[in-house]
Structure 1
Amino acid sequence: MALTSNRRSVLVDDVIEQLRAEITSGRWPVGQRIPPEPELLEQLGIARGTLREATRALSHAGLLQARQGDGTYVRATSELSGALQRLDSEMSDVLEVRQALDAQAARLAATRITPEELAHLGELLEQRATAWENRDRDAWVQADYAFHQRVAAGSGNALMDNLYTALGPALRRSMTAHWDAPGFDGADHRGHEELLDALRAGDAAQAARSATANIDATEQWRDGAPAHDEP
């Protein structure tokens, strides 16, 4: 039997790719409601059934989330990120994964990161310190996450960078929980500054040790022992 193309399937796949491009490019940011159905139908020039099939596929993949009576919202920027969000991981699970990712990212970044990226890391630590002084939790979490994300990006490993980005929502939730917990002293920057010093020196072993020390301190804090570093 000769295979024949299913033009409807081809059209749906094309619409899926167009919608995915809007999401992954950031033109439709996470948390934003996508344009209403009539607007999309007019822009794409397609049938309602085709659009709904495409949005259902992206919802199943975790990129979109339909809210009854409120529209469809962007949930994640990649299928991996969407899948991780559906897991709703415990903080302990996140820390165990970070033990491996943070250390290896730091080890690789020590020999691959650029001077421009190092300067950016220094700026992020300054933003983090300012946020702590102002008791601005959201700004602190964003700067803290961005610091670790930039270390992963500095590893020069695209898969490492993508994995860390996909973990972003879970990481930010764990950092927020850390801030809100009694006794947390986010003003202590030893772990981060030591990591940045190691990256500047190109010391891969020390960079990995510093990254691991950050996670160890967080685990000690969770177990009730005094800890001064951040998550």
Structure 2
Amino acid sequence: MVKSLKRGALVELAVEQLLDQLAAGRWPVGTSLPGEVSLAEQLGVGRSTVREATRALVHAGLLEARQGSGTYVLALTPPPSLDSALRKAKTVEVYEVREALEVQAAVLACARRTEDDLERLRAALTRRDRLIDGQQDHSGEFVEADLAFHRAIVDAAHNELLGQTFATFETVLAETLRNVVDDAILEGHDVDTAHRELLEAIEAQDEAAAAAAVRTNVRRTIEAASEN
């Protein structure tokens, strides 16, 4: 029997109790949960609380609500967080996903960028350019300047979810790029030209050129990181 909930944040506590029961195998994958009335009685809460708790687990990917049929178990434990997955991923995997995100961001930025966005992009690229010659001596500052330019492109896409997704990559990207810069293995690669071409493409609203510039930049960085 699931223990009764008598105080506190009822929905959060109900979610915790349901997670415990799922992890314990009370309801195997593929089976349906008891109805709202039954769960409400077991938890000692109202049906609306049960409804919100199960909805949260649906969004988390553990349950599936089937109209007219009930709520079914899809998984017994929550999937790993994106941040955890990123830290376990290979560098090339991270950059392959980054390429997909930034190509889409660049294409959207071509269509949606404002004059304020362009001014921010120009300023970010100017700052990055100033630090190129001394990037090894000031690797942290250079990496931040580089990521600030790419962050500005994502922001110019004006897609909040895309921005949030890119933000989860930034710590891992910074660590990888810092290693690349510290080892001076970007020398001889044309990533700087690709950055300039990317800005020019967004200014000209040339989606194909913007996507090509992103691919050149990311793939050159992958090559450099592979040499590390």
| TM-score between the two structures when normalised by the length of structure 2 | 0.60
Q: For the residues of structure 1 that align with 2:184 and 2:131, how far apart are their CA atoms?
A: 18
Would the aligned equivalents of 1:84 and 1:167 in 2 still touch at CA under 8 Å?
no
AA of the residue aligned to 2:221: T
Q: Is the alpha carbon distance of 1:220 and 1:83 closer, same or farther for their aligned partners in structure 2, counting shifts above 3 Å?
A: closer
Equivalent residue number for residue 101 of structure 1: 101
AA of the residue aligned to 1:131: L
* Structure 1 residue 122 corresponds to structure 2 residue 135: no
The alignment partner of 2:109 has SS state of: helix
Q: What does 1:166-185 correspond to in 2, within 5 Å?
A: 166-185=168-187
Would the aligned equivalents of 2:91 and 2:176 in 1 still touch at CA under 8 Å?
yes
Q: Is the alpha carbon distance of 1:6 and 1:145 closer, same or farther for their aligned partners in structure 2, counting shifts above 3 Å?
A: farther
Would the aligned equivalents of 1:191 and 1:213 in 2 still touch at CA under 8 Å?
yes
Q: Let me know the Cα RMSD of the aligned residues.
A: 2.6
Shift of 1:99: 1.9
Shift of 1:222: 4.0
Q: Which runs of 5+ in 1 are unaligned?
A: 14-78, 225-231
Q: For the residues of structure 2 that align with 1:130 and 1:166, how far apart are their CA atoms?
A: 27
Shift of 1:206: 0.9
Q: For the residues of structure 2 that align with 1:110 and 1:199, how far apart are their CA atoms?
A: 5
Would the aligned equivalents of 1:106 and 1:155 in 2 still touch at CA under 8 Å?
yes
Q: What does 1:43-192 correspond to in 2, within 5 Å?
A: 82-84=83-85, 87-134=87-134, 135-185=137-187, 189-192=192-195
How many residues end up aligned between the 2 structures?
A: 155
Would the aligned equivalents of 2:110 and 2:206 in 1 still touch at CA under 8 Å?
yes
Shift of 1:11: 10
The Cα offsets for residues 87-141 of structure 1, whole Å up to 9 and x where unpaired, read as 3332111111112111111111111011111111111111112223343111100
* Higher-Rg member (1/2): 2
Equivalent residue number for residue 218 of structure 1: 221
| TM-score between the two structures when normalised by the length of structure 1 | 0.59
AA of the residue aligned to 1:88: K
Q: Is the alpha carbon distance of 1:214 and 1:89 closer, same or farther for their aligned partners in structure 2, counting shifts above 3 Å?
A: same
Shift of 1:10: 4.4
Q: For the residues of structure 2 that align with 1:213 and 1:12, how far apart are their CA atoms?
A: 46
The Cα offsets for residues 18-77 of structure 1, whole Å up to 9 and x where unpaired, read as xxxxxxxxxxxxxxxxxxxxxxxxxxxxxxxxxxxxxxxxxxxxxxxxxxxxxxxxxxxx
